[in-house]
């Protein structure tokens, strides 16, 4: 297998605590590194950046200094792996604000021939979205139609050219127990080794 460049983005908003998302991230990174892939990591909770509040900021505001290096890491990467807990059916607000800042016009997409979204700036990259949730996965997929994750995949990742986007949804996290956590960590280790 050819070595790949992987950027792991931890989207859990708690900067001080260790959660299942962090353990899964560590397992994925270990598998990838052991398999010879190059890995960089970003912990969004530890970054200082403002939330975008206007169209003018979105279109013309400078990228916050804390995120300039992240954009360079995204350009470096062949595969992005995003970890986050499902909150109120979607991404935690801090993580969504991070994505809004890094996926700005001129970086993630550019106008071409009068089409404001004519060039997708992140084409050629793949992604995996790893989401932990309290409810059973089947309920989220069937009843809620996985709307929050689908929105991320369709309206952000695919929109800027990232394809394919794979997902790992881990439901019922409060009831996993030590054996369940160990099984998921082993699964993420295998996915990391395969750079998927």
- 78 pLDDT higher than 80: yes
Helix pair 65-76, 93-102: axis angle to 10 deg? 70
pTM confidence score:
0.95
Which tens digit of pLDDT belongs to each residue from 149-180? 999 999 999 999 999 999 999 999 999 999 99
What CA–CA distance (Å, rounded) separates 60 from 28? 36
The answer to which of 62-66, 116-120, 181-185, 188-192 has the lowest mean pLDDT is 116-120
Specify the 3-state DSSP secondary structure of 97. helix
Amino acid 114: pLDDT: 78
Q: Which of 88, 83, 82 is nearest to 148 (CA)?
A: 88
DSSP 105: B
Q: Where are the domains positioned within the chain?
A: 5-194
Tell me, which fold does domain 5-194 have in CATH?
Rossmann fold (3.40.50)
- 17 pLDDT higher than 80: no
- 61 pLDDT higher than 90: yes
């Amino acid at each position: 297998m050819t070595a790949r460049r992987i950027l792991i983005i931890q989207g859990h908003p708690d900067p001080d605590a260790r959660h299942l998302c962090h353990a899964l991230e560590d397992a994925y990174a270990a598998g990838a590194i052991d398999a010879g892939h190059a890995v960089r990591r970003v912990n969004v909770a530890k970054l200082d950046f403002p939330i975008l509040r206007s169209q003018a900021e979105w279109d013309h505001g400078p990228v916050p200094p804390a995120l300039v290096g992240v954009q360079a890491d995204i350009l470096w990467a062949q595969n992005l792996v995003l970890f986050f807990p499902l909150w109120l059916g979607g991404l935690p607000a801090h993580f969504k604000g991070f994505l809004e800042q890094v996926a700005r016009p001129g970086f993630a997409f550019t106008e071409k021939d009068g089409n404001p979204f004519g060039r997708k700036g992140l084409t050629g990259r793949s992604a995996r979205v790893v989401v932990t949730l309290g409810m059973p996965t089947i309920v989220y997929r069937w009843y809620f139609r996985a709307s929050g994750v689908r929105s991320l995949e369709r309206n952000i990742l695919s929109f800027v050219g990232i394809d394919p986007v794979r997902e790992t949804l881990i439901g019922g996290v409060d009831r996993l127990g030590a054996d369940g956590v160990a099984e998921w960590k082993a699964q993420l280790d295998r996915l990391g080794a395969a750079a998927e």
